[in-house]
Each structure stands twice: as structure tokens, then as C-alpha cells.
Structure 1
């Protein structure tokens, strides 16, 4: 990917050097952006199998982490997490592992280092569900505006209440409307429920 971006920069430099009209430069920029977006199925993909294959083939430590995490291979996911360079991605990965292992105290400590992002409020709401803290659940849920996270909280609540058929039905309704990483997350969560891993 780095080589591809370097070629784009070199190409842009050459177009500037030869004084190519600006509308051609913008057209090329749009074409490159569209190419990158559609080359990565995690952005707009509708096929979960292709997305998992993309994660499996990826050399990126974060995408390798996601592949192992979504398959439930937590020890391999942890090994991949150690190779992640980005502090934000590493923190998110660590948070995902803590939540999967139900280490809510450590997850809360890690969340104090994160800003007021929608993921933070979703995770705090999910922790509140699992700890039975109704007041904290309401407070954190009010801060979430993303409908995907709100729907996932309904699924989490159904799973916590033991209504797994209802949780699967909620996920089935969501999956038809989702794309990219959100679709992959919902599909894998549904699979975990059906396999009894949740």
C-alpha cells in the first residue's frame, strides 16, 4: 500500500511539473480515491466471506488482529496486537480483548484514557448491561447517536437476558442494511450466538 501511495505522489508531481490542467488532476484524484475505497472491502463490502479473506491475507497487524479476534483465537489476536504501531489501534485492540475476556475493571481503566468517542459510550453501556447497572447504562446510552451501536446494545441486552433467538432476529434485521466492517461485526456476532460462544 505504501508503494501505491508513493506512486500516486510521484504521478501527482509529474502532472504538476508538466502543468496538466487542474480538472484532469482532480479527476485522477477522484479515480484513485474510488479505486482505494472499492479495493478495501471493509469500507463498503457486502460479502462477509470476502472481507474475512481480505483480513486473512492482510499484512497489517491490526487487520491480522481483527481476523484472529473475530475467529475467537484470542491468544493469536494478542500476539498480533503486540505488533500494532498505532497507539489508538493498539488501545482499541486491547479494549476488545478485555471485553471479550469480561475483564470489565481493566476495560474501564483503559476507557479513562480515551476521549469522548462513540465507541467509549457503547463499551461503557455494554459493561453496565453485564454488571446490571441500569443507571450507568441509561447515562451512557444517552450519549450514543450512532444507530448501529444503539442496535448492538439491544442485541447485547437480549443476549444478557438469555433471549438469544431475539438477539439473532435483531442481527438478521441489521445485516440486511449494513456494509463493510459493521456488517462483518454483526455477522460474526450472530455466528458466536448460534455457536453458543456468547
Structure 2
């Protein structure tokens, strides 16, 4: 990746040296950026297995964390989490582990330190489902506008009510419309439900 970025810088320098018009330079750089984003399976990937393989091959600690976490290997995920440098990514990783371990009190403490965004409201809504706190659920859900998170809350509610077939059906209707990390999350959640690794409360 570093070599690729260096080549882009070199290419930009060469265009500047030959006095290529600035709008062409920007056009080329924007085109390359779009190509990079499009080729990133975590953003636009349509194949969950390829996305998982991408995470497995990645040397970035956060990607390794996601690989272990989504495969249900929490001890390996926790070990890798210590290597994550980004504070935001580390905090998100810690939150995911706390939620998976059903340590909702600690998760809520961590969420208080986080700024208001869709992940926070989704996590608080999910905790409210687990704790049967209808008022907190309504308040937090009302702050979510992302369709994916709203649909996932429906799945969480179905699982909590013991309606696992309904939860799988909801995921089946979502999966064809999803891309990238959201697709992988839904596919793995479905797999965990079918394997009996997700329990109602």
C-alpha cells in the first residue's frame, strides 16, 4: 500500500513537472482514489468470504481484531486489541468485546465517553433490548437514521424474543442489499444464530 501511495505522489510530481493542467491532475487523482475505494472489499465487497479473507490477510491490528471477533474467537481478538494504535478503533473494539461478553454496565460507561453517533445509539438501543428497558430503547432508537442499524435492531429484538427463524429471515432479506463490512456482519450474525451461538435473554 505504501509503495502504491509513493507511486501516486511520483505520478503527481511528473504531471506537475510536465505542466499538465491542474484540472487533469485533480481528475486523475480523484479517479485513482475512487478506484482504490471501489476495490476495497470492506467498502464495496459483495462476497462475504472474500471480505473475510481480506481481513485474515491484513496485517493491520484492527483488521485482525475484526477477523477474530467475527469468527467468535474473543480471546484472540482481545490479544490483538492491545496492538491497535488508533484510540477510536481501540475504543470500538473494546465496546464490541464488552457487548459480546454481555458486560453491559461497562459498555454503558464506555459509551458515555464516546461522542453521539449511530454506533453509540445502536449499542445503547441493543443494551436496552437486553435489559428490557423500553423507554431507553425508544429514546436511543429515535436517534438512529441508518437503515442498516434499524434493521439490525429488529434482528436483535427477534433473537431476544426467541424468534430465531424470524431473525434469520430478516437477515436473509437484508443480505442481498448489503456491501462490504455491513454484509460480512450480517452474514456472520446469521451464521452464529444458525449455529446456536446467539442466545435469547
- TM-score (normalised: structure 2): 0.95
- 1:154-169 matches, within 5 Å, as 154-169=154-169
In 1, Cα distance between equivalents of 2:142 and 2:26: 41
- 1:35-184 matches, within 5 Å, as 35-184=35-184
Task: Report deviation, 1:15.
Answer: 1.5
Residues 21-71 of structure 1 deviation map (CA, whole Å, 9 limit, x = unaligned): 223312321331132113211111110010001111111111110000000
User: Which ranges in structure 1 are unaligned for 5 or more consecutive residues?
Assistant: none
In 1, Cα distance between equivalents of 2:104 and 2:3: 41
3-state SS of 1:54 partner = helix
In 1, Cα distance between equivalents of 2:78 and 2:19: 50
Moved more, 95-104 or 14-23: 14-23
In 2, Cα distance between equivalents of 1:109 and 1:40: 33
Task: Report deviation, 1:89.
Answer: 0.4
**Following superposition, which runs of at least 4 residues in structure 1 exceed 6 angstroms of deviation?**
none
- 1:12-51 matches, within 5 Å, as 12-51=12-51
User: How many residue pairs are counted as aligned between the two chains?
Assistant: 198
In 1, Cα distance between equivalents of 2:26 and 2:190: 42
In 2, Cα distance between equivalents of 1:175 and 1:126: 20
- Is structure 2 residue 19 aligned with structure 1 residue 5? no
3-state SS of 1:65 partner = helix
In 1, Cα distance between equivalents of 2:110 and 2:6: 36
Residues 108-139 of structure 1 deviation map (CA, whole Å, 9 limit, x = unaligned): 01101110011000000000000010110000
